[in-house]
Every structure is written in structure tokens, then in C-alpha cells.
Amino acid sequence: MNKQRGNILLNVDWVIIGIYLTLCLLGVLNIYAADFNPAHSDFFDLGHRSGKQALWIGASLIIALGIMAFEGKFFRAMSPFIYALVSLLLFVVIFIARDVKGAKAWIDLGPFKLQPAEFAKFATALFLSAYLGSITRNKKSEVASIEDIGRNFSRFIRGKKVFSLSDTDVYGQVFPLAIILLPMFLILGQDDTGSALVFSSFFFVFYREGVIGRVFIVGLLAIVLAILTLMFDKHVAFTALGVLAVIVYASFIKRTNMALITIGSVVLFLIFMGVFDWSASFNTYVLWGWISINVIVIISVPELWKRIERGVIVGSLVVALGYVGFIEQAYNVLQPHQKERIEIILGKKHDKTVSFQTDQALNAIGSGGFLGKGYLEGTHTKGKWVPEQSTDYIFCTVGEEWGFFGTSFVILLFVALIFRLLQKAEKQRSKMSRIYGYSVASILFFHLLVNIGMTLQIMPVIGIPLPFMSYGGSSLFGFTALLFMFVKFDAQRLDVL
Amino acid sequence: MAKLESRKYHIALLFGFFFVIYLSRLFYVQVIANDFFTNRAKTDAVDKVVEFPVRGNIYDRNGIVLVQNEIAYDVMITLRDFEADTLRFCKLLGIDTVEFNHRLGSIKQNRGYSSRVPQVFESLMKSEDFGGIKERLFNYKGISVKKRTVRNYPKAIAAHVLGHVSKVGPRDLKKDAFYIPQDYKGSSGLEQFYEQVLRGKKGWKHYLKNRHGKHISSYLEGALDTFPKPGNNLKTTLDADLQEYGERLMRGKIGAIVALEPSTGEVLAMVNAPTYDPNLLVGGKYGKNYQSLAKDEKKILFPRAIQSRQPPGSIVKTLQSAIALDIGVANEYTSYRCNTNLVGCHNHSSPLTLPQAIQHSCNPYYYHLVNKIFNKGRKGNMAQMRKGMDEWEKYVRSFGFGDPLGIDLHGEKDGNVPDKREYDKIYGRNHWNWSTIYSIAIGQGEFSVTPIQMANLAASIANKGYYFRPHLVTAVGEQKINFENDSSYRNQTLVDSTRFDIVQKGMQWVLEESGGTALRSRLDSITICGKTGTSQNPHGDDHSVFMAFAPRKNPEIAIAVFVENAGGGGGTAAPIASLMIEQYLKGDVERVELEKEMIDKVFYKVE
Ligand SMILES: [Zn+2]
């Protein structure tokens, strides 16, 4: 053990750390541009956001080193206490925080404003993976008693496998759900809807770990389809269904076929969704094209014939198509004011100032072109047209000043990071480390999806930061802790936690 | 477990799927739709700020400034920063709080209004008004000043001719892309006619503005910026001294004077009476002053010299004589008795020869003479009458009657030369004869002309049979207008040049021979040829008309004077014309008593 600890620097994943540092650096550079004032252009001036962010990065590295200095076991043991402490903070904040931009999420600590919600992701991920990691399953169903809980808890702290329970009971499903719902509701109590929604990213983890079954997936799918139908168009929902169907087929068949079908489906979907502006008749063609492809795939791939699932897939596809049509019809019979409320909830309709702001965000990105306008040359950025540009809308600065080159670079960095996390997670020997890895990847993915989607007007306006890049100490500290905890686990992956 | 194992692919696929969507959305927004978003961004973030060009000056023929520019001030208010004791602020600008609130209300309606951007509160304050309140004004927060230029008329003459500028309206904005809402454009006189050359070209500065409309820097380092190009100056044909003198003589009268240079068609003076100080229609007081001028019952804004259509009266007897001589129905010695049974006349010897008929303005003489032009001695023949009338009409029109002469001003009227169709219409075909229409022989009835056409007749007679299109501008900027190639510039009348000596002799006698109708207006040192006229006015006293040119040899000035309700031409119009000729040819007027008499002759109350 001691020998391993000595080699910890050799065992850390430098790819993850390298991407992390690059993103932090890009972040502070773009914060400097977003907050640029030619009259006071000192980069490291602590009166400026770039100067402060540089300071936060320094502090984050200390946090990272601190995490690396402890044993993974220590954090595992501490996880319930960290979780409890953060939950308490979240609760307290509701009562002591001042109202800032509609949310009561910040604790005033003199020069630094602490946002506990940013640490709640880390605390929840840690506790959830420690908890799920310690469960072992058997067929025998037991009723949990208070004594059980107390006994098991003390074993949990000592790092022993404790729960010999089935995966359909309180321990296997209700507790994990409660672990993510508690901070989620506390954050909702702070009127910080964006941060609360982030906790829904744990459902990816639940899915991977089998905490939630197919029924849940079907329910989730129903909600997503309803939102897609109402937000965009039933054709978008149909297309999404088609993609999903292909993914499902793919899971039944050989890898090579899977790759081909996936690539084909993604390309078709892109033609439809992103690259071209759609017209109604074009949509219809694509839709029928989709349905045909699905039919052809089912008929032409022999593996599918051997499966009973085939019927289930086709049947559920038909049901889903009907469902999407039903949602649209049901929506159409609503009263205009009811429709309007739904549209506002979905972020489809804003009051004028909000849509002006999101339009400006898109103008900034769109006017960047392929190579951008150049660093510190963004006219929209300099004109402060985009609100919150150093925080939630930092991606606009990248888009305007660095163009498609910059935005795709940032996205690819995140893609590399997230896939590296998924890959590393799957390599973990310890169940806890794997779950934790999935948690980190899912949280980052959710942030990326919502934050960038918001600037691109394909997501409703939900104010959450872009990880590692948005201005803000709490968020950077939270993500650093989140990420480096995994780096630590990964460095110790040979240990069984 | 194996079943759960496959779920890792589902998640990876889902993540990958969204990443590709996002990348393609980015590609669409940034690369494919780049132009669209660049334009949209520019519309919001780039402010085009206009730099107004200086309007061209207008000079008289000797280089005296008639119209120039002076600095005026737009008082701007930035509502977000504005802090003031409203009552005191209003007092400073001389308005009441009702007006103050009204202005704020309309400012907020401005296109692209922002409380952080200065808005015009008081426009075009003259420097003399502004100077007094400048210091106190700058003490108010949120008040700034923008310099502009307004027209200034140092000599305050020729108001109708020079015209005025006024704010452009929605129709101008629609019709001409040059204009923006803050623009002014010429809306009468030369300002209007030469708008295209006077207005110059606007300069544009491009600024990057922030969300609040404040400028943060120049856009693209000024690569798109342009400088304003000043408008061209106009060199006019007006003689400022003569114009000024004419306006002095026309004080208290209603009418017009037009003086032309016969050898060029240049307008030496164009007096419209009553006139006004053109400086009234400048700057912030424009609206109020324009209203009161427009409402005045004397129709002050009416440019009578080119728009007032009146019967020419007896001055057409010169024209009738020339036509009769040219057709050959008369010679110098053709005599008629003054038979006042046919048409009224005044006391004079009888019979008269042709020049004497001009001298005495004998009405019965022209009753006979024009009758002869029409029927060529075949009395009672309607067909001949119609033919004769056509021929006469052609002659008359060749002197520029019946159509606008084409001066470089908008709104010139045509006047009316009666013809057979008109009489057919009034009386029915062939239900008229000479006794019905004889009044056209003496320039009454349906015959109507404008004062500039009267002056043009004088010029045509002075030139012995041709005239140059009257015009006011000879050079735009440094560029002299080339009239040589302009086919409508020199106009030949149908009367042969040899006929005019006899007419001129009669016109000279008008002023010089005993019994002439304008004896008082003679000038010892200069031979003036003239002809009086009385334009019959069914609504009141007759109008006094006189046309003349001088000197008889190598004429330098042709003039027409028209004074409403002043009776016979010899009494008022002729002395004024004579004084104008003296002023122009001698540079000074020696006949001070006549001058005083004329100036003091007023037809309405003069302040
Ligand atoms: Zn007579």
C-alpha cells in the first residue's frame, strides 16, 4: 500500500488533468475577453473577473492536491458526513441568503460568495456511489429494520460490504432516489431551478447500475417525447424515436452492423435537425424515410428475427408514434392561455427581454463565423450585448472570438473528457469508483448539454454554468473536487474500495 | 450483470449522439448561417451616425451672399441622467411644463428610443438665443448640445426666389433614400429646385455600441466611415441691389416685378410683394412663423411673379402691332379713328398711326387692327375668323405665352392664350364672332399672363424677335451651366426682326412724346421703351401693369411691373419700372421725389 501511495503521481490519468487544465485556461482567457475593459486591461487585476478566476484556479489546484493527498477510503467513509453537511448548508441558505437574480443560493462570506449547490453535486455523487457501491444483491428479500440500518451504517463506515438485500427494495431503489432528491428539493427551495435539474443527470447512473428498470426508461421516454413534440414539432419527436429505435436494434446485433446503422441514422438525423432549416413538407419526407429505414432494418437484419424482442420493439415504436400524435392533438384542444403557460414553461416563449437576450447570444456566436473575429475583437462581446457573458454565457465569447474552430475545439475537449471518464469508469475494479465515474461524466454531460444548448437556442433558458470555464469560484471548486475525486479513485483503481 | 453491461453502450451512444447534434448545430449557426447572424449582430451592435453636410451657399450675380449657413444648436436630453428642477429648466428654455411633458412624451415615441442616448429636446436653437443660456444649460445633468447648421439670409431679400428648407416628411423618406428623418430639404424656390446639388452628401461614422446604446469604439477602425461632402454653391443671376431696391419700391403693395437681361434671359430681379424676411422660416421658430405667413390674407407666400395669372391689359398692344405688321395687314402708317362706340378710350387726337396707337394706347385702334389680323378683311366669314385666330394664337405662343417659360423654379404657371376651341366651349361652336371676343385685342377677357411672361415680352421686343429662357442660376459650384447646347434656351418668335422698329418707336413715345401714357416715367439720359397696361379686375380696382426695356439701343434690362389694385399702368407700375431701370443702369437713383412718392404709396397697412 505504501509503495502504491508513493507512485500516485504515476498512476493519475494525465489526459483528464490535461483537459481540465486546458479548459480552465480557456475559461479564464474568455472571461478576460467577456469582461474586457480597454481602460483597465490588467489581466491579473483582482478587481477583474479574469484576475479573480485566476485566483480561483490556483485555489482549485490546492483543493485538487488536497484530495489527492487523502486515501480514497477516507472519502468513502466521510461521504455521509460530507453529504449531511452540504445538505445542512443547502437548508440554511434558504433562510440566510440574499436574493440574487431571483435565487437565494449564495452565502455571503465577505469577498467570496459561496454557492453550496455547486458542492452538492460532488457530495451527492460521492455519497451515492459509496452507498450503491456497498450494496450486494441476493434474491432474498428482507424488510429493513431500524437496527439493520444502524448496524449496516457502522459497517459501511468501516468499509465492509453490508447490504445483502435484493435490488427491488428500500435499500436498492428508494434510498438511492432519496439521496438525489433531498439536495434537489433543497435547491429548488432556493429557487435555483437550473442547479436542481442537474441532479436528474444521476438517472444515467441509475440506468447503468440497474437501479431503474425498463419501466422507468419508458416513462422518461414518454416525458422526453412529449417535451420534444410540444417544444419543436411532432416530426422531431418522431425522428428522435427513430434514432432511439436504431440504438435499440444496435444493442441486439453485431458490433460492425451496429456502427454502420448508428452512423447512418445519425447522419440522416443531422440532415433533418441541425444543418438545414426545416420546412413542413421536408419534415414529412424525412419522417417517412425514417419509418422506411426502421422497417428495412428490422426485415434485413437476421439477428432481429431470432429475437422475441423484435415484436416488442416494433410494437413500442408504433405505440410511441401514436403517443406523439396524441400529445399533439391533446395540446391543440387546450385553451390559448393554457398553451401559452406550457410554452413559457418549456422555454419556447419568453417575455421580450429574455428572447432579446438569447437572440443576442446566438448573434454573437453566429457572427463568429468559421475562425472567429479574433481574441478581444468580438463586437458583440465588447458591447456587452449578451448578459451574464462571463458566467452562464461564456460560450458566446468562445463562439464570437474563436468561431466554429473554437467552439468545436471546446466541445471536443469535453467529449474527450466525458468519454475518457466513461472508459475509465468501466475499467474500475471497485463498483463505487465506477458509479462515481459515471456520476461525474453524467453531471458534466448535463451541464454541457443545457448550457451550450441554451446559447444555441435548442434548450430552454436554464442558468447553469459551463464546467471549468464559466466565471465563479463555487462552481470551479465544486467541479474540481468532483473531477479530482475520480482521478484519485482511478489512481487507486487496483485497490478495492 | 451481462444485461447491465450492455447499457454502457446505450449511454455512450446517447452522449455521442447529442455531441454530434450540437456540433452540427454550431456548424449551421456559425458557418452556414454566418451571414444572417453577422447582419443581425451588426444591426444591433453597430451604430451609424450621420454627419450632416453643409448646404451650398447662394450668391447673387456679383458674388454677394444671399444664403449661407450658420451654426445652430440642438439641445439634447438623456432622460436617464436628466436631473433638474423642471420648472426652472422650462423657464430657461421659455416653455411651460405642459409643453415640457408633451416633448418628453413624444421623445419616448422616437424610433429606437433609449433613455441612455441623447434625444433632441429643442431643435435648431439659434446662436443668439443659445448663447444666453449656454452656461446655465450645461449645469443640468443629462443635457448635451449637438451642433448643426441652419440657413441664414444676410440681406433678407428675395425670399420667394431663394425659398426655404423644412424638415423632411414621411413621403420624402419614402421617395428618396437619401433622406433620414432628421434631414431638411428645400421646399420652395431655388432651395427646392436645386435641392439635389445644394444638399451635398452625408458622411457616416460607424460606432460599436453596447447594449445600452453607448458608443464604445469606432467600428472596424473607421474602415466604413465616410466624410460629409458639402453641397455646391449656386451663382444666381440676381442683382442684390436691384432686388433690394425693387422690394423697397413694392413696400405696401401687392404685385410683382420681374427684370430680365434681354441678351441672356438672366433674371436680374424678381420681386414678389408682399414679401417676408426669409430668416423667419429658419430653425426652431419655423413652424409658428410659417403658419402665420400662410394664414395671412394677403397671401404672402404666393410667388406672384411666376404664378399670378392676370389679363395683361394694354401691354399686348405691342404684340398685336408686331403680329399685324408681320402678317401684313398693317404698316407704320395704317390709321384708324378712335371710335369710342366700339370700345372705351380716353381723350387723344384721332386718327392715329400705329406707333401713335401704342403711344396713346388707343383701344378702338386695336379693335380694328386685331379684327383685321383675324379676318384679313373678309368680314363676317367665320371660317376665315377661325383660321385667322389660329395664326394669331401661334404668333402669341411664340412669345412664350400660354405655357410656363421654364424658369428654374417649381410651380411656374402657364397663363392662357384664348383659342377657338375655348370660345366654342364658352359660346358654342360658331356662336361667337368678333364682337364677342374683341376684348382679347386689348389684353382683357380670357387672355391671362404671368408677370414673368410680361417681362419676357419686353425682352422679346428688345431683342427684336427672340428671347432667351429666363433663368436664375448660371453656375453650380465651380461648374458654369452651359446653355449653348440647350435647344429650349434661345426661342425665336414668329415675327420678323424688321417689324420691331415701329413697335419700339411707339414704346419710346409712350414715355417721351406728348400724350404718351407714361410721360412721368421718362428718363432724360436713357431711352426707355415701355407700354402701360391696365389689367381689368372684376373683384376690385384694376391692376396696374407696365413693361419696358432700356436702353433702346443694346437693351440691358427688360422689366415688367405688376401692382394689384393700383389702377392705370402709368400711375404706379411705370414709375416703379422706370426707377428700377435707373437703379440698374446708373447704379443710383436721382429722382428722389418720385422714388419717395412710390415708396409711400401703400395699398394696405404697413407696420
Ligand atoms: Zn383712342
The interface predicted TM-score of the complex, written ipTM, equals 0.82
Chain B residues within an 8 Å CB radius of A209: 4
CA proximity to A210, closest of B1, B14, B9, B10: B1
Closest chain B C-alpha to A366 CA, distance in angstroms = 4
Of A251, A384, A453, the CB nearest to B210: A384
| Residue B542, number of CB atoms within 10 A of its CB | 21
pLDDT in tens, B230-262: 999 999 999 999 999 999 999 999 999 999 999
For A425-449, what is the mean pLDDT? 93
Closest chain B C-alpha to A33 CA, distance in angstroms = 15
The better pLDDT of the pair A330, B590 is held by B590
pLDDT in tens, B155-205: 999 999 999 999 898 899 899 989 988 889 999 999 999 999 999 999 999
Domain covering B72-148 assigned CATH 3.30.1390 in the classification:
yes
Chain B residues within an 8 Å CB radius of A408: 23, 26-27
The better pLDDT of the pair A427, A233 is held by A427
* pLDDT above 90 (res B87): no
* pLDDT above 70 (res B555): yes
* pLDDT above 50 (res A2): no
pLDDT in tens, A473-488: 999 999 999 999 999 9
Question: Which CATH number describes the domain made up of B47-64+155-234?
Answer: 3.90.1310.10
Note the pLDDT of residue A280: 47
Which of A7-11, A32-36, A188-192, B534-538 bottoms out in mean pLDDT, i.e. has the lowest?
A: A7-11
Are B31 and A379 within 8 A, CB to CB? no
Domains B47-64+155-234 and B72-148 share a fold: no
Quick one: pLDDT band at residue A248, thresholds 50, 70, 90?
low
| Assigned superfamily of B240-280+304-600 | DD-peptidase/beta-lactamase superfamily (3.40.710.10)
Closest chain B C-alpha to A493 CA, distance in angstroms = 19
CA B341–ligand 1 middle distance (angstroms)? 11
d(CA A124, CA A278): 41
DSSP state of B538: T
CA B358–ligand 1 middle distance (angstroms)? 10
| Residue B288, number of CB atoms within 10 A of its CB | 10
pLDDT in tens, B569-578: 778 999 999 9
For A350-358, what is the mean pLDDT? 69
Of A250, A266, A369, the CB nearest to B31: A369
Q: Which of residues 407-426 of A touch B (CB under 8 A)?
A: 407-408, 411, 415, 418-419, 422, 426
Of A276, A382, A438, the CB nearest to B208: A382
**CA-nearest residue of chain B to A365?**
B30
Note the pLDDT of residue A266: 60
Are B41 and A251 within 8 A, CB to CB? no
> Quick one: cell of A203?
438517472
d(CA A25, CA A22): 5
Cα angle, residue B73 at apex, residues B68 and B77 outer, rounded to 5°: 160
For B107-121, what is the mean pLDDT? 80
> Quick one: cell of A263?
452512423
The better pLDDT of the pair A195, B6 is held by A195
CB A93 within 8 A of CB A183: no
DSSP state of B121: E
pTM over 0.90: no
Chain A residues within an 8 Å CB radius of B14: 247
Are B8 and A208 within 8 A, CB to CB? yes
CB B432 within 8 A of CB B423: yes
Of A209, A266, A456, the CB nearest to B29: A456
The whole-chain average pLDDT of chain B stands at 90
Domain ranges of chain B: 47-64+155-234, 72-148, 240-280+304-600
Maximum C-alpha span of chain B: 142
Note the pLDDT of residue B69: 93
SS3 B208: strand
CA B344–ligand 1 middle distance (angstroms)? 8
* pLDDT above 50 (res A250): yes
CA proximity to B51, closest of B176, B144, B182, B169: B182
Write down the H helix ranges in A346-472.
352-366, 379-382, 394-427, 431-455
Quick one: pLDDT band at residue B1, thresholds 50, 70, 90?
very low
For B403-423, what is the mean pLDDT? 93
Q: Which of residues 368-387 of A touch B (CB under 8 A)?
A: 368-370, 379-380, 382-385, 387
Domain ranges of chain A: 8-231+335-495, 232-334
The better pLDDT of the pair B498, A319 is held by B498
Of B21, B40, B41, the CB nearest to A274: B21
Closest chain A C-alpha to B74 CA, distance in angstroms = 27
Are A251 and B9 within 8 A, CB to CB? yes
Are B15 and A418 within 8 A, CB to CB? yes
